[in-house]
């Protein structure tokens, strides 16, 4: 055991190097155990100070501590932090040049390095084993140890070889650490590392400052923008399933005025490092990332973690949400959930081995249970990791703040436990549900379970209802998981007592996500302009303002803004120049020319009537500057004949005119004189101009009707060209 003086040395070094006056939780016991030469297994939630458990012993103990770590980004972040503390830490991985590796080996053998971070792939190389055999190694730390277990959420085959690698380096203590491990995974890690005798330190998984929430994945971009506007300027991470989605959401956020950057394995390493550093240094507020981001990232003030897509497992979800609120202050954990995401994840597993596929299916099933369950989310998470939550309403999850419909479940739980008992406690949830509902599938037939007294006793309720009852019985400890047989349920001691003496049990109805329409990711999120759902009173006020401005400028009202634009304003209530410019048919040119009075009017109307504004409900998307539009503008500037432009773009002349009209309506001034002067005499141009200047409408159909007796040259195409010329001169 450590003597008092050595204890004091630990406290001194803790303060001197890391700036802390006291250890947190189990930290001191873990460190003392390791320094006493004992193998140590640490299960400590993200944000509880796991890294210190091997960093401080490395400083105090003679020799070099090897830290086996799975991610290069994790290594860089931790090495940078340690170097900032004045500790000589380095990493050995594939990013180093031969010269850098040579210098590293020289420094390590001479005893100048205290911690060396190594990827398992690098440790497996013969030349690295030979080099490390010459070094005085103090101990080996295995970070993210859950990667060892095929039952875990982030299984890596290289981690299964770690015990063999360590064995070649000599006899030294080993510390294995993870933030997430179910009882099954804990046993698997210890067995693989041959650390069954190790001292185990498990910290509570309860992060009391985190708020957990699940929302249906419907109009997700609008929900996301609204949430982020409520948390403007705060630091957060958004996790997406694919690299494409990461890029799309990062762009969406930047267009909507947030400081965001993407992070995924497909980016150039320099870009990834730049974005990660920007996030850590507060130049970037939001990182949009695939799952790879965040392992070991020590940023204390992450205020929210959003899962745009459903994670692959509850372990992954817990670890990722654990990056919020590491300073003990607020942390909001929001997940958007849909069955569609689960189906996508199932497809990703199709090429895996049968066993891996089954493991992945069970993990996804647990994720589905968590999302749809009405039980306190904190209670569910803690139960999953083998810890029970004694409190009632946690007050920090959506299920506790907005409770679901309750009912007395005594008789239902009794039937569920009877099904487990009569099937000899050898089966999982789906089989039990089939027995209860009287569904004769191949397994029910092969085990002759259709002959059981319990068979079909629950057929008055749907299968989903029985799944919910069994899940709630599990969370409330009437059932328990068989740790040796994944997916199998047994009756707990509490359940046996309940069967002897049944009592009232309050259950709740699951969330029904099947009624939600999954978001069509590629569809625009803007409010439909022609929905006729606009605010009629505001529309009339806007029309009156338009008429007043038109009269002052001696212009037809439609030149200022057309009716569809006013309808959209009366739907979305734009109160900033940027919001108004995003309205169809407006653009920043028109905003600068005519917008001030309309913005003032809308702002007053919003204030007077306490209305939700466009900035709350409209998602701005990147301006659609298609290649065709850019080419059209460039070629018009170069005075290319319009027929030639249409041919080069493989468009009909009418379709190209529509593109030009859209460009003009968005506020861009176009000079078509070079073409119009060739097809229409000046006198005829003046006649059409005069018509549009005095007309109540810019309708081409009305113009053709009004001018049909004047001249046959006033066909639809020529009138459209003149309308573009007219609006460019007067409206833009």
Helices (H) and strands (E) in the chain, counts: 35, 17
Whether 645 and 711 share a structural domain: yes
Question: In terms of residue numbers, what domain contains 717?
Answer: 627-730
Q: Read off the CATH number of the domain in which 694 is found.
A: 1.10.10.1390
Domain-embedded: residue 516: no
Whether 196 and 265 share a structural domain: no
Q: What is the dihedral of CA 158, 163, 164, 169, to 10 degrees?
A: 120
pLDDT at 506: 92
Tokens found for residue 649: 């773009």
The SS3 assignment for 99 reads: helix
Sheet bearing 235-239, strands edge to edge: 210-216, 331-337, 302-307, 235-239, 286-289, 260-263
pLDDT at 153: 65
Q: Provide the phi-psi class of 37: left if phi over 0, else alpha when psi is between -120 and 50, else beta.
A: left
Domain-embedded: residue 622: no
- Residue 469 backbone phi and psi in degrees, to 5: -60, -45
Whether 172 and 227 share a structural domain: no
Whether 70 and 141 share a structural domain: yes
Whether 453 and 584 share a structural domain: no
The bridge status of strand 479-481 relative to strand 489-491 is: antiparallel
> Are 223 and 216 a contacting pair, CB within 8 Å?
no
From 157, 184, 202, give the residue that closes a domain. 202
Domain-embedded: residue 358: no
Q: What is the dihedral of CA 203, 208, 214, 220, to 10 degrees?
A: -110
Whether 234 and 326 share a structural domain: yes
pLDDT at 443: 93
pLDDT at 141: 96
C-alpha to C-alpha distance for 608 and 610, rounded to whole angstroms: 6
Whether 459 and 546 share a structural domain: no
pLDDT at 180: 81
From 202, 226, 261, give the residue that closes a domain. 202
Question: Which residues does residue 307 pair with via DSSP β-bridges, in sequence order?
Answer: 239, 335
**Residue ranges, the chain, pLDDT below 50:** 1, 3, 296, 517-532, 623-625
pLDDT, tens digit (0-9, with 9 covering 90-100), for 207-259 = 999 999 999 998 899 889 989 988 989 999 999 988 999 999 999 998 888 99
Whose tokens are 């019985």? That residue is 473
Q: Read off the CATH number of the domain in which 502 is found.
A: 1.10.10.10
C-alpha to C-alpha distance for 68 and 711, rounded to whole angstroms: 85
Domain count of the fold of the chain: 5
Whether 253 and 327 share a structural domain: yes
Domain-embedded: residue 679: yes
pLDDT at 445: 95
479-to-322, 492, 547, 639 alpha-carbon distances in Å: 28, 5, 72, 79
From 185, 202, 219, give the residue that closes a domain. 202
Query: What is the CB neighbour count within 10 angstroms for residue 656?
Result: 19
Tokens found for residue 616: 């709350």
pLDDT at 533: 57
Tokens found for residue 468: 């919910």
Whether 115 and 241 share a structural domain: no
Domain-embedded: residue 68: yes
Domain-embedded: residue 531: no
Domain-embedded: residue 339: yes
Q: Read off the CATH number of the domain in which 579 is found.
A: 1.10.150.80
Q: Read off the CATH number of the domain in which 223 is found.
A: 3.40.50.300
Whether 44 and 116 share a structural domain: yes
Rg (CA), the chain: 33
Domain-embedded: residue 564: yes
pLDDT at 523: 41
Whether 293 and 145 share a structural domain: no
The SS3 assignment for 90 reads: strand
pLDDT, tens digit (0-9, with 9 covering 90-100), for 599-654 = 999 999 988 887 766 555 556 555 444 567 788 888 898 899 998 988 888 888 88
Whether 40 and 156 share a structural domain: yes
pLDDT at 284: 95
């Amino acid at each position: 055991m450590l003597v008092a003086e050595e204890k004091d040395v630990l406290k001194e070094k803790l303060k001197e190097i890391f700036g802390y006056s006291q250890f947190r939780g189990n930290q001191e016991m873990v460190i003392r155990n390791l320094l006493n030469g004992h193998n140590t297994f640490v299960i400590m939630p993200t944000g509880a100070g796991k890294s210190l458990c091997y960093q401080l012993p490395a400083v105090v103990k003679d020799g070099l501590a090897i830290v086996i770590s799975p991610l290069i980004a994790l290594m860089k972040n931790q090495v940078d932090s340690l170097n900032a503390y004045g500790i000589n830490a380095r990493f050995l991985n594939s990013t180093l040049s031969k010269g850098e590796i040579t210098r590293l080996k020289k420094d390590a053998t001479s005893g100048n390095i205290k911690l060396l971070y190594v990827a398992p792939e690098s440790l497996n190389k013969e030349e690295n084993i030979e080099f490390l055999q010459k070094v005085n190694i103090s101990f080996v730390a295995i970070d993210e140890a859950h990667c060892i277990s095929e039952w875990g959420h982030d299984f890596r085959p290289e981690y299964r070889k770690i015990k063999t690698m360590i064995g070649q380096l000599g006899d030294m203590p080993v510390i294995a650490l993870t933030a997430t491990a179910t009882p099954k995974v804990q046993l698997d890690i210890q067995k693989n590392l041959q650390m069954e005798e190790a001292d185990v330190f498990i910290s509570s998984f309860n992060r009391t400052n985190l708020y957990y929430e699940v929302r249906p994945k419907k109009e997700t971009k609008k929900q996301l923008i609204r949430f982020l506007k409520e948390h403007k300027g705060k630091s957060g991470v958004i996790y997406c399933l694919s690299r494409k989605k990461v890029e799309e959401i990062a762009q969406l956020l930047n267009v909507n005025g947030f400081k965001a950057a993407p992070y995924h394995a497909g980016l150039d390493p320099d870009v990834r490092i730049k974005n990660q550093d920007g996030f850590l240094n507060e130049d970037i507020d939001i990182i949009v990332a695939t799952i790879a981001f965040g392992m070991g990232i020590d940023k204390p003030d992450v205020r929210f973690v959003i899962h745009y897509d459903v994670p692959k497992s509850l372990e992954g979800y817990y670890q990722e949400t654990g990056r919020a609120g590491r300073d003990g202050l607020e942390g909001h954990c929001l997940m958007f959930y849909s069955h569609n995401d689960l189906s996508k994840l199932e497809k990703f597993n199709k090429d895996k081995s049968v066993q891996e596929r089954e493991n992945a299916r069970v993990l996804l099933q647990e994720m589905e249970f968590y999302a749809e369950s009405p039980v306190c989310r904190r209670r569910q998470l803690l139960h999953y990791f083998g810890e029970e939550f004694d409190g009632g309403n946690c007050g920090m999850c959506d299920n506790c703040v907005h409770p679901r419909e309750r009912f007395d479940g005594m008789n239902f739980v009794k039937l569920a436990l009877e099904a487990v008992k009569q099937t000899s406690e050898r089966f999982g949830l789906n089989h039990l549900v089939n027995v209860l509902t009287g569904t004769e599938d191949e397994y029910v037939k092969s085990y002759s379970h259709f002959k059981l007294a319990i068979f079909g006793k629950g057929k008055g309720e749907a299968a989903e209802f029985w799944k919910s009852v069994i899940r709630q019985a599990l969370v409330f400890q009437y059932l328990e998981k068989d740790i040796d047989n994944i997916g199998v349920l047994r009756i707990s001691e509490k359940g046996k007592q309940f069967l002897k003496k049944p009592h009232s049990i309050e259950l709740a109805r699951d969330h029904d996500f099947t009624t939600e329409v999954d978001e069509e990711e590629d569809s625009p999120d803007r409010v439909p302009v022609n929905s006729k759902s606009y605010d009629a009173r505001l529309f009339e006020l806007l029309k009156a303002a338009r008429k007043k401005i038109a009269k002052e400028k001696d212009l037809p009202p439609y030149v200022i803004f057309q009716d569809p634009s006013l309808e959209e304003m009366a739907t979305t209530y734009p109160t900033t120049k940027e919001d108004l410019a995003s309205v169809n048919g407006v653009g920043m040119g028109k905003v600068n020319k005519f917008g001030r009075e309309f913005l003032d009017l809308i702002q007053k109307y919003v204030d007077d009537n306490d209305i939700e504004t466009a900035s709350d409900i409209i998602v701005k998307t990147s301006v659609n500057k298609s290649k065709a539009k850019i080419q059209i503008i460039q070629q018009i500037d170069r005075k290319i004949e319009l027929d030639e432009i249409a041919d080069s773009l493989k468009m009909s002349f009418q379709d190209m005119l529509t593109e030009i009209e859209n460009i003009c309506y968005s506020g861009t001034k176009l000079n078509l004189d070079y073409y119009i002067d060739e097809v229409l005499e000046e006198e005829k141009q003046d006649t059409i101009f005069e018509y549009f200047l005095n007309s109540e409408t810019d309708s081409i159909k009305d113009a053709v009707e009004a001018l049909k007796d004047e001249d046959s040259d006033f066909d639809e195409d020529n009138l459209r060209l003149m309308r573009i010329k007219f609006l460019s001169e007067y409206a833009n």
